[in-house]
């Protein structure tokens, strides 16, 4: 009896499979749209984040009355050298000590009283600080405002700096080691 039930079940399945293999079924061609929609969506989102950060940084500068003091660079870096150093320009591959404090753009302290030995151009502690140091002299004191793409970006620092944070560094460039 079980064999007969399997037989009656197998026959309709076999007919279905044979019918599905019919060559007369119209084929709908999939037309690819030009461009990559995923890439375009990511670029749109990235541009939105960059513009939003730019507006937030500009607002921060305006609230503090620093519009005439802060230099703006094409990559989004903002720099205010409030004490010009007199010990010569910082150059690529210079090894130096940087004393700094880091805050969020809202004023929350992230790191305070940090002293790092940095080799300029080695992207440490991040690419934005490298770029800022190249515009300073030894002995300079400056405020550096980094949009997230020049700071720690999407991943943060796996400790205190979160995703896409705008960072404000108050730093001092010390002499060569």
The CA distance from 147 to 112, in Å, is: 19
Binning pLDDT at 50, 70 and 90, where does residue 71 land? very high
> What CATH number belongs to 42-176?
3.10.50.40
pLDDT in tens, 84-137: 998 899 999 999 999 999 999 999 999 999 999 999 988 677 889 999 999 999
Q: Where are the domains of the chain?
A: 42-176
pTM of the entire structure? 0.75
- Please list, residue by residue across 162-174, b when 16 or more beta carbons sit within 10 angstroms of its beta carbon and e when fewer do: eebbbbbbbbbbb
Tell me if residue 16 falls in helix, strand or coil: helix
Nearest to 151 by CA among 125, 133, 171, 173: 125
DSSP H/E element including 167:
strand 167-176
The label of the residue with tokens 């870096």 reads 77
Query: CA 20 → CA 8, 14, 15, 28, distances in Å?
Result: 19, 10, 9, 16
Report pLDDT for 33. Answer: 62
pLDDT in tens, 19-61: 555 555 555 565 556 677 777 777 787 788 889 999 999 999 9
Report pLDDT for 27. Answer: 57
């Amino acid at each position: 009896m079980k064999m007969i039930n399997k037989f009656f079940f197998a026959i309709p399945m076999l007919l279905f499979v044979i019918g599905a293999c019919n060559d007369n079924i119209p084929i709908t061609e999939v037309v690819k749209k030009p461009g990559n929609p995923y890439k375009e969506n990511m670029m749109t989102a990235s541009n939105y984040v960059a513009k939003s950060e730019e507006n937030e940084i500009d607002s921060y500068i305006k609230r503090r009355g620093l519009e005439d003091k802060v230099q703006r660079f094409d990559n989004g870096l903002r720099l205010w050298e409030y004490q010009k150093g007199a010990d010569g320009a910082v150059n690529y591959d210079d090894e130096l000590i940087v004393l700094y404090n880091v805050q969020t753009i809202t004023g929350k302290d992230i790191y305070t009283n940090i002293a790092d030995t940095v080799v300029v151009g080695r992207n440490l502690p991040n690419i934005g600080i490298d770029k800022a140091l190249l515009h300073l002299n030894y002995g300079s004191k400056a405020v550096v405002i980094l949009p997230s793409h020049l700071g720690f970006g999407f991943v943060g620092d796996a400790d205190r700096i979160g995703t896409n944070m705008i960072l404000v560094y108050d730093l001092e460039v010390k002499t060569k080691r």
